[in-house]
Structure 1
Amino acid sequence: MTVHLAGPGLALREVEAGDTTDILAIYGDPEATRHLSFEPRTPEQVQAIVDRSIASATEDPRTEYGLAVTRIGDPRLIGYARLATEPQQAATIGFALHPTEWGKGFGTETVHLLCALGFRTLGLHRIWAARSPLNEASARTLLRAGMTEDGRIRDHVFVHGAWRDSITYSVLEHEWAPIEGVGDGTAPETGAT
């Protein structure tokens, strides 16, 4: 299944070999990764992410979706989003946007697109995400997207030389209310094949 899912302002598409530089501009940036669960990535590490994303698109069954976030009408990658399925009709999601795209509502739309993929296309029951306790912008984004704060995982990740907690959020299929034009067929170029 090839993913191409569009909303009012953004689209999710499969990662391509030419996306490496744009992903490195995000994952190699200390500011962009400040609250993520890893330190800035090297060019080699980003190439491995691109290679894994491309390879996962051909797996059957597919359990990982590493996707490019783009503006409608512009194929250039401005963010990287990931959905990884788990047993019991569940998945975890995560995303990172280039810092020049912060504060524009793109995070909320990205979460909605990932939920559309998970609930409408994959038939999942539960989607969850985790954030750094210091990342208040992510908290607002996840809540605006309809997720509910579940709790704290203590010492969840080891990053920047120390253990860090994560705050978790989730949304169930019957709770999710998509924003107009996200994965409902009203936006252009919507679908997964």
Structure 2
Amino acid sequence: MHCVNVVGERLGLRDVNLSDVDALHAIYGNRAATEHLPFNPRSLDEVAGIVEEAMAAAAAEPRRLYLLAVTDPDQHNVIGVARLHVEADHPHSAEIGLGLRPDQWGRGIGTDLIRLLLGFGFRSLGLHRIWGARSPANIPAQLAMLTAGMIEEGRIRHHVLAPEGWRDSIVHSAIVDEWNSLLL
């Protein structure tokens, strides 16, 4: 099993565990935090199920799903959640997603989190391409992805069935060679 423990300047990433359920419910169960996600806020039991599935996926070989607690480096409190899913048919490509507690918004944490995820995917997992999709209305996610070095690729029409109905997604991606050149 590949256990994740990544530490950046302002954030850490580690595998989720059952002690994180309440902290993750503060994100998954929050209407503001899930506004641009394709589901309604989750119950505490639903979040516990998500964590249990993630723990089982962490033991899989090869591991394809990484559900990670986002922690602040000082007190190690869970302030967000990050997801990296390696595609089965294209094992050098992965999709990312993230969520932060609303009290963390507006501080550049989303950009730092995306950079940390890209570094983990490219350096630790040897991925070639990492992509993420966002709601067209989620301008903070757009800015975070662009600032972190991802490129906007385009729109997928009626991509997600959200609680309000079908919505488009805007896709952003990073390629390892392009990303490495940003670091020079």
TM-score clears 0.5: yes
Is there any run of 5+ residues in structure 2 with no aligned partner, and where?
A: none
Is there any run of 5+ residues in structure 1 with no aligned partner, and where?
A: 181-193
What secondary structure is seen at the aligned counterpart in 2 of 1:128?
strand
- Indicate if the aligned counterparts of 1:116 and 1:178 stay in contact, CA closer than 8 A: no
Q: Which residue of 2 aligns with 1:190?
A: none
Q: CA deviation at 1:179?
A: 8.5
- Indicate if the aligned counterparts of 1:15 and 1:54 stay in contact, CA closer than 8 A: yes
Give the TM-score taking structure 1 as reference length: 0.89
Matched residue type, 2:98: F
Matched, 1:89 2:92: yes
Q: CA deviation at 1:74?
A: 2.1
What secondary structure is seen at the aligned counterpart in 1 of 2:94?
strand
Q: Which residue of 2 aligns with 1:187?
A: none
- Indicate if the aligned counterparts of 2:38 and 2:163 stay in contact, CA closer than 8 A: no
Q: Which residue of 1 aligns with 2:80?
A: 79
What secondary structure is seen at the aligned counterpart in 1 of 2:179?
coil
Matched residue type, 1:10: L
Q: CA deviation at 1:36?
A: 1.3
Q: CA deviation at 1:88?
A: 4.6
Q: Which residue of 2 aligns with 1:107?
A: 110
Q: CA deviation at 1:138?
A: 0.5
Q: Identity of paired residues, percent?
A: 46
**RCO higher in 1 or 2 (8 Å CA, sep ≥ 6)?**
1
Report the Cα distance in structure 1 between the residues aligned to 2:121 and 2:103, rounded to whole angstroms.
27
Report the Cα distance in structure 2 between the residues aligned to 1:59 and 1:132, rounded to whole angstroms.
30
Give the TM-score taking structure 2 as reference length: 0.94
Q: CA deviation at 1:177?
A: 4.4
Report the Cα distance in structure 2 between the residues aligned to 1:82 and 1:71, rounded to whole angstroms.
17
> In the alignment, which of 141, 145, 148 is matched to residue 142 of structure 1?
145
Matched, 1:120 2:123: yes
- Indicate if the aligned counterparts of 1:24 and 1:41 stay in contact, CA closer than 8 A: yes
Q: Which residue of 1 aligns with 2:13?
A: 12
Report the Cα distance in structure 1 between the residues aligned to 2:112 and 2:98, rounded to whole angstroms.
11
Matched residue type, 1:73: D
Q: Spell out the pairing of 1:147-186 with structure 2 (5 A cutoff).
A: 147-177=150-180
Q: Which has the higher helix share?
A: 2
Deviations 1:142-169 (A, max 9, x none): 0000000000011111112310000000
Report the Cα distance in structure 1 between the residues aligned to 2:38 and 2:119, rounded to whole angstroms.
24
Q: How many residues in Structure 1 have an aligned counterpart in Structure 2? A: 180
- Indicate if the aligned counterparts of 2:149 and 2:182 stay in contact, CA closer than 8 A: no
Matched, 1:23 2:24: yes
Report the Cα distance in structure 1 between the residues aligned to 2:181 and 2:8, rounded to whole angstroms.
10
- Indicate if the aligned counterparts of 1:133 and 1:166 stay in contact, CA closer than 8 A: yes
Q: CA deviation at 1:120?
A: 0.3
Report the Cα distance in structure 2 between the residues aligned to 1:171 and 1:85, rounded to whole angstroms.
14
